[in-house]
Chains A and B, each alone.
Chain A
Amino acid sequence: MDYFLGLIINGIVVGSIYSMVALGLVLIYKATEVVNFAQGELLMIGAYICLEIIQVTGMPFLVSFLMTMGFMVILALAIERLVLRRMMGAPALAVIMVTIGIGIVLRAVVLGVWGATSIPFPEVFPRQGIDLGVVTVSQLYLWSFILSLAFMAMFGAFFKFTRVGLVMRATASSRKAAESMGVPLTKIFAIAWIISAVVSGVGGVLTGNIAGLSPELSFYGVKVFPAVILGGLDSIVGATISGVIIGVLENLGGGYLKDLTGLHGLGPVAPFFILVAILWVRPTGLFGRKNIEKL
């Protein structure tokens, strides 16, 4: 039973990070109709930058964390301004490929600067367990969970209560209508990229804390794809919920399917089986709009 609960909790924590990064992906898609295939690499570079700031400046984690966010903002602006803005209106294939290209460059930077070996993240949150009555949860996990929830709540409030948030929602629901009402599209696109890069950065720092730093981190970002497809590529609510679902399923899969099927490493691959199954059965996902992507 403890094993089961442990898997569930692990899944919810990792899942909440997926949810947060998935939010970034869906946001960019809704605002700009671009699916960012460099999301995993953005996550990875966020983690490495944070580590570098901590090690070089010796500043406390919180300050380094904020500086990392600042870096992510600049990076997002650079990507949007230098590349994506010029690709507006290009065919989907070209846009997908260009984000893949950006991802490759980011990966090369990480490999060149920090190498391919795995680096442990300096302990920020103790791994010691806290007794929550029913189960004991590592403080690291608890903090990761709280932080991702806090970030999601922040963005939720931003969309709900600020003017920019309102304009972004308008753009997402109809780009043409928003443009004709005088919404400066390029600015909205830039903001979408900033938010997406920042949540990826946060996700990177948190997963880096949990799993250590290595170029493999980008694979965590990639697992956001099954989450957004399950939730519906254009649904923010869907992304939030499915991130957790994917996290839990992945952990349960890793924990039990090995004994059941005798196959190794099924956990990390399980979300992609789900992805294919969803695309077969219901490509709009659980919460997506019905009228998308036909023929």
Chain B
Amino acid sequence: MLADRFDRIGAVALIACLAVVSQFMGDYHLALLTQITVFALSAMGLNMLLGNTGMISIAHAAFMGVGAFSSAYLIQNLGLPALPAILLAGLITSVVGMVFGLPSLRLKGVYLAMASFAAQIILYWAFEQSRWLTGGQDGRFAQRPVMLGISFMDSHRFYLLALAFAVLGAVANLNIERSRLGRAFNAVRDRSQAAEMMGVNVFRTKIASFGLATFYAGVAGALFGQYLEFVAIQAFSLSVSIQFLALVIIGGLGSLAGSVLGAAFIVLVPEILDTIILMFSHNTGEMAPIRLGVFGLIVVVFLLFEPQGLARAWNRTRQWALNHTGKGSQTRS
């Protein structure tokens, strides 16, 4: 990913294009784009945990919730400026994530899945109980920020902020992948005993992966709450956590492009489905089950037939296009 100039130019062009086009979008499309951007940021974290380090977490949405609520609390109740509040919310989430990640030293696979499953249920319950923080079932308001003297109250402006965070997250993601830590992630995933013999501290690497993944979740959660201007605990339920898992798998494990493509997929498919359903029926009550059922089927079908996700499908298409324009011989996928 971004291994060659072609990719790098493409990425810069895409970001510039998004920044410009978004400013002329209507509210509906802008809302979708913002959601994709924030979800992509969050997914990058989960993908580092899942794809690069090989550890599963069924609690990603709950961690986003920690970020969303703590940033709202820091800004509104403690009066912190927005930028430090968002970063601090990320750190708080990171600490919570590492606490739940601690048993991961001895666990893997299904055990880790169950540990994080329990984390999701416990955190969600804690949200329900902590009215001072979350407003309980009523939820709480969150403000769009003023940062470095610039107000991001306006949706179009706010999108630029989200995009900036997502780009920073992506750059950090790529750099981490190339660093010693990133290689340690892969080593732990592929053969943790061998990694340990080569001098990788497996425990510290796993905890670092948890910390990073949940930091991304916390920051993305904070942005998500500010974008909606309202944080409700229902937005961080088990089914949302499962959506994030599905997002990463559908997008492509261990691939930055996968995180982005997966986020776009998970946001856009329900919208497209709704449009299709509306063409045949005006009974909106049927929508939720059909959405859910199609979502489940997509997950199963992807795992059966394209376990590497959209990123690989995209790479194949790209390779094909490059080969047919005579440039592709030296690129790697």
Name A's B-contacting residues (CB within 8 A): 29, 35, 37, 83, 86-87, 90, 92-94, 96-98, 100-109, 111-112, 222, 225-226, 229, 233, 263-265, 269, 272-273, 275-276, 279-280, 283, 293-295
Contact = CB atoms under 8 A, between A and B. Distances in A.
B110 A102 contact: no
Interface stretch (B12-20, B69-77, B287-295): B287-295
Nearest to B303: A98
A98 B249 CA distance: 11
A104 B242 contact: yes
A98 B108 contact: no
A276 B115 contact: yes
A107 B111 contact: no
A105 B289 CA distance: 9
B119 A276 contact: yes
A273 B109 contact: no
Given A104-B296, A269-B121, A233 B246 contact: no
B322 to A, nearest CB: 29
Contact of B289 (A112, A263, A294): A112
B296 A103 contact: yes
Contacts of B286: 112
Given A283-B103, A293-B108, A272 B193 contact: no
B115 A279 contact: yes
The 8 closest A-B pairs by CB, nearest first: A104-B296, A108-B293, A112-B289, A101-B299, A92-B109, A105-B296, A108-B292, A101-B300
Contacts of A105: 293, 296-297, 300
A264 B130 CA distance: 11
A93 B202 contact: no
Contacts of A229: 111, 114
Interface residues of B, number: 47
B129 A104 contact: no
A109 B107 contact: no
B107 to A, nearest CB: 6
Contacts of B303: 87, 90, 94, 97-98, 101
Contact of B300 (A96, A102, A272, A280): A102
B192 interface: yes
A273 B119 CA distance: 9
Given A108-B290, A264-B129, A295-B192, A97 B118 contact: no
Given A112-B286, A293-B107, A295-B108, A101 B125 contact: no
A295 B191 CA distance: 9
A35 B115 CA distance: 13
Contacts of A273: 118, 122
B178 interface: no
Contacts of B117: 222, 225, 272
Nearest to A100: B242
B50 interface: yes
A97 B107 contact: no
B246 A97 contact: yes
Nearest to B289: A112
A101 B246 contact: yes
30 contacts: A35-B113, A35-B114, A87-B303, A92-B113, A93-B109, A96-B109, A97-B249, A102-B296, A108-B289, A108-B290, A108-B292, A225-B117, A233-B111, A264-B129, A272-B117, A272-B122, A275-B114, A275-B118, A276-B122, A279-B107, A279-B111, A279-B118, A280-B103, A283-B103, A293-B106, A293-B107, A293-B108, A293-B109, A293-B111, A294-B106
Contacts of A294: 106
Contacts of A103: 296
Contact of B299 (A98, A107, A280, A293): A98
A294 B125 CA distance: 30
B307 interface: yes
Given A265-B125, A293-B106, A293-B111, A83 B300 contact: yes
A279 B103 contact: yes
Given A90-B307, A276-B103, 17 more contacts: A87-B304, A92-B108, A92-B109, A96-B56, A98-B300, A101-B299, A105-B296, A108-B291, A108-B296, A233-B110, A272-B117, A272-B118, A275-B114, A275-B118, A279-B118, A293-B106, A293-B109
A37 B242 CA distance: 11
A215 to B, nearest CB: 10
B237 to A, nearest CB: 12
Nearest to B206: A295
B245 interface: yes
Given A273-B122, A276-B122, A280-B103, A96 B289 contact: no
Contact of B121 (A92, A100, A272): A272
Contacts of A225: 114, 117-118
B27 interface: no
Contact of A104 (B119, B202, B288, B292): B292
A29 B114 CA distance: 14
Contacts of A104: 242, 292-293, 295-296, 299
B128 interface: yes
B54 A93 contact: yes
A264 B242 CA distance: 26
B115 A263 contact: no
Contacts of B196: 295
Query: Could you say which of A97, A108, A264 has the most chain B C-beta atoms within 10 Å of its C-beta?
Result: A97
A92 B55 CA distance: 10
A93 B248 CA distance: 12
Nearest to A261: B129
A105 B292 CA distance: 7
A111 B289 contact: yes
A109 to B, nearest CB: 7
